[in-house]
Amino acid sequence: MEPSSAPPCRMCVPRLGLLLAVSLLTAWIPTTVAQLTVEPVPPDAAEGMDVLLLVYNLPENSPVYLWYKGETADPNRLIATYVTSLGNTAPGPAYSARDRILSNGSLLIQNVTLEDTGNYTIQAMNILYVPSEASAQFRVYPKLPEPHITSNQSQPVEGEDSVAFTCEPEIQNITYLWWIHGQRLPETTDRLQLSPDNRTLTVLSVTRNDTGPYECGVSNPGNTARSDPFSMNVSYGPDAPTISPPDLYYCSGANLSLFCHAVSDPPAQYSWLVNGRLQQATQELLVPNVSVNNSGSYTCHVNNSITGLNRITVENITVFGPVAQPAIRVINTTVLERDRLVLTCLTDDAGISIRWIFNSQSLNLTARTRLSPGNSTLNIYPVMKVDEGEYQCEAFHLNCSSKSDPLWMTVKDNPEPESSDLLPGAIAGIVIGVVAGVALIAVLAYFLYCSKTGRASDQRHLTEYKPSASNHSQGRSDSSPEKVDEVTYSSLIFNAQQPKQPTPASLSPRATETVYSEVKRK
Ligand SMILES: *[C@@H]1O[C@H](CO)[C@@H](O)[C@H](O)[C@H]1NC(C)=O
Ligand SMILES: *[C@@H]1O[C@H](CO)[C@@H](O)[C@H](O)[C@H]1NC(C)=O
Ligand SMILES: *[C@@H]1O[C@H](CO)[C@@H](O)[C@H](O)[C@H]1NC(C)=O
Ligand SMILES: *[C@@H]1O[C@H](CO)[C@@H](O)[C@H](O)[C@H]1NC(C)=O
Ligand SMILES: *[C@@H]1O[C@H](CO)[C@@H](O)[C@H](O)[C@H]1NC(C)=O
Ligand SMILES: *[C@@H]1O[C@H](CO)[C@@H](O)[C@H](O)[C@H]1NC(C)=O
Ligand SMILES: *[C@@H]1O[C@H](CO)[C@@H](O)[C@H](O)[C@H]1NC(C)=O
Ligand SMILES: *[C@@H]1O[C@H](CO)[C@@H](O)[C@H](O)[C@H]1NC(C)=O
Ligand SMILES: *[C@@H]1O[C@H](CO)[C@@H](O)[C@H](O)[C@H]1NC(C)=O
């Protein structure tokens, strides 16, 4: 800028003034940068609540603040003046006993009314008595009463009725809300419908699962009120009844006790029919000491007087006649240790099943026990001391049974043979050796004979070699093939016996011995 060409100094003064103002302004900025503001808490209130108008960024050491109703600092609508140094409130024309200015500048309005809705303005002086202003507004909404639910049908029937729930009372300009099982009602489904104002909820074609509870709510921005839970009393059923126990077969002499149950609300009425004839109108049917005559169809009939529905379940029950008592046949009730014990169960009933009982418990099968097909013969070999005790056989058909009288079997000691007993064994060994030698010679002779004659009677060999272990008494005419036959037979027996005797090793030689002596006897 050129001073020579500078205009008259008249212009310099405002310029200086502007400069001063700018510098003053910049000096002010740090204190005014934080704007005075008011925040209503809550901005939407219900009648009777307290509202706090919170003030932020009051001027430092502000000596006085004034609260006005309205958007401006209108002296006619002054609520109160607060003098910091005195800590007291001087009421204005718009003052109410519910208004209280706090030391930090905030205004507390207690127990607000609908008329309190509107704007509020604070005017706060700084230390130089330069005022600053801020406004805020809040709304007060009517306090909502607790709503309640009414239903247009007190006892709807499942699958038949639709029910309309209405939330009372009716209030303008509020929102109605619904909860089922405590869950906010989502969008309406095909069975749940809301009226346009949401005040009426309709449940179409109710089911037993629609009993609720239901709750309704009324809401405005200031508050929400929720009704007490409301449950619907849906009548349903009866469903098909169940009969317990489900057994269809009984033994004569048993007590028949049939219990019927059907899901139903209100509870079903029960009655029993036997072979189509009304027996009694009870839930439980008792027929003591049944006989074959009591076989037949047992029908449980259920009825619901409200739904008017009837259902039945039929059970065809068969009563079996008494099972004849079986008997045990035995040759001798005393057996020697290591001998064979054979018991036979005798029963007149055809097609009946048999099981064995030892010392009042189900007989344990061991490797020494063998049962005939159908279980009628019990065979224990070799008998041991532990086999002594009480035997019973039981004839049974499904769950009907009859036990034989108990039979006590004694197992007598049979001391293990001493070392002198080896002698018969040795003799047997020698005999076997001799027999085997003779047999070998016979076989050789036979083969020689066969090769000489030049024809092999394979077919005959096959038949004779066939292991007919059980066919002891089969007669034989040929003298030379018989010996062969005997040797083969004895070895077959031996092989057959050996795996079936997983008894202590000491017993094996004796078993073999017996077999060989049998062969010898032949
Ligand atoms: C003013 O004081 C009240 C009551 O003590 C308090 O609730 C409020 O938060 C204070 N205001 C500010 C802006 O901190
Ligand atoms: C709130 O105000 C109502 C009238 O507006 C009054 O009936 C009620 O007693 C007041 N409640 C309290 C707690 O001051
Ligand atoms: C209850 O309201 C539902 C839905 O509007 C209607 O279908 C039903 O017939 C009403 N029941 C009675 C008893 O009025
Ligand atoms: C409901 O709201 C409408 C507009 O929003 C208003 O004109 C009417 O006066 C209100 N009614 C009530 C009872 O508040
Ligand atoms: C009714 O409720 C639904 C949600 O359930 C909402 O979207 C809708 O605006 C409500 N209508 C009224 C009139 O309140
Ligand atoms: C009721 O609900 C149960 C389980 O949620 C379901 O198995 C049954 O089918 C429902 N009954 C009806 C009548 O809707
Ligand atoms: C049948 O019931 C009678 C008494 O009611 C009872 O003495 C008897 O032992 C019962 N019979 C059977 C097999 O349970
Ligand atoms: C059960 O009935 C039979 C005939 O059916 C009879 O002989 C027996 O004494 C009855 N038993 C009881 C306990 O009533
Ligand atoms: C079975 O019924 C017949 C006639 O109904 C009767 O004479 C007979 O005594 C009954 N038998 C038993 C075991 O109750």
The domain ranges of the chain are: 37-141, 148-226, 247-320, 327-417, 437-521
**Which residue, judged by its Cα, is nearest atom 1 of ligand 6?**
209
**pLDDT single digits (tens) 377-427:** 999 999 999 999 999 999 998 778 899 999 999 999 988 776 555 555 555
Asked if pLDDT for residue 180 goes beyond 60, the answer is yes
Lowest mean pLDDT across 64-73, 101-110, 279-288, 444-453: 444-453
Q: Which of 163, 166, 199, 201 to mutate to test the pocket of ligand 3 (most atoms within 8 A of CB)?
A: 163
CA of 177 to the centre of ligand 5 (A): 8
Tell me if the pTM is above 0.75: no
Question: Taking a C-beta distance cutoff of 8 angstroms, is the pair 270, 301 a contact?
Answer: yes
- Model confidence band, residue 434 (pLDDT cutoffs 50, 70, 90): low
CA atoms within 13 A on the CB side of 254: 22
Q: Which CATH architecture has domain 247-320?
A: Sandwich (2.60)
DSSP annotation of 98 reads T
Checking if the pLDDT of 22 tops 90, the result is no
Q: Please say whether the dihedral angle defined by the alpha carbons of residues 373, 376, 377 and 378, taken in this order, is positive or negative.
A: positive
Distance 289 CA to ligand 5 centre (A): 68
Cα gap 380→364, rounded to integer Å: 12
In the chain the first and final C-alpha atoms are separated, in Å, by: 156
Architecture field, domain 327-417: Sandwich (2.60)
Q: Is 296 exposed, middle or buried (0-12, 13-18, 19+ CB in 10 A)?
A: middle
CA distance 179 to 329: 79
Could you say which of 1.20.120.420, 3.40.50.300, 3.40.50.720, 2.60.40.10 is the CATH number of the domain covering 148-226?
2.60.40.10
Q: CATH topology for 37-141?
A: Immunoglobulin-like (2.60.40)
Distance 398 CA to ligand 8 centre (A): 21
Phi, psi of 309 (to 5 degrees): -95, 150
Q: How far apart are CA 446 and CA 461, in angstroms?
A: 11
pLDDT at 355: 95
* C-alpha 43 – ligand 1 centre gap (Å): 16
Work out the pLDDT band at 5, boundaries 50, 70, 90: very low
The separation between CA 114 and the C-alpha centre of its own chain, rounded to angstroms, equals: 56
Q: Which residues of 46-55 are buried (b: 16+ CB within 10 A; e: fewer)?
A: bbebebbbbb
The dihedral built from the CA positions of residue 18, 19, 21 and 25, taken in this order, carries a sign that is positive
Q: Locate the ligand 2 atom nearest the alpha carbon of residue 48 and give its number.
A: 1
> How many whole angstroms from 444 Cα to the centroid of ligand 1?
129
- Integer Cα distance of 34 and 56 in angstroms: 9
* Site to substitute for ligand 7 among 250, 252, 255, most atoms within 8 A of C-beta: 255
Please choose from 35, 41, 54, 55 the residue to mutate so as to test ligand 1's pocket, defined by most ligand atoms within 8 A of CB: 54
Show the tokens assigned to 206. 């109710």
CB 35 within 8 A of CB 135: no
Percent of the chain with pLDDT over 70: 73
Residue 484 has what pLDDT? Answer: 38
Measured from the alpha carbon of residue 321, the closest ligand is: 9
Residues lining ligand 5, Cβ inside 6 A? 175, 185, 194, 197-198
165 Cα to the center of ligand 3, angstroms: 10
State the closest ligand 1 atom to the C-alpha of 55, by its place in the atom list counted from 1. 13
Question: Is the preceding peptide bond at 213 cis, omega within 30 degrees of 0?
Answer: yes
**Residue located nearest, by CA, to atom 4 of ligand 1:** 102
**Residue owning the nearest CA to atom 6 of ligand 4:** 173
Residues touching ligand 1 (Cβ under 6 Å) are: 54-56, 102, 104, 106
Token pair for 237: 């059923």
327-417 shares the fold of 247-320: yes
Q: Which residues line ligand 3 (CB under 6 A)?
A: 152-153, 162-164, 202
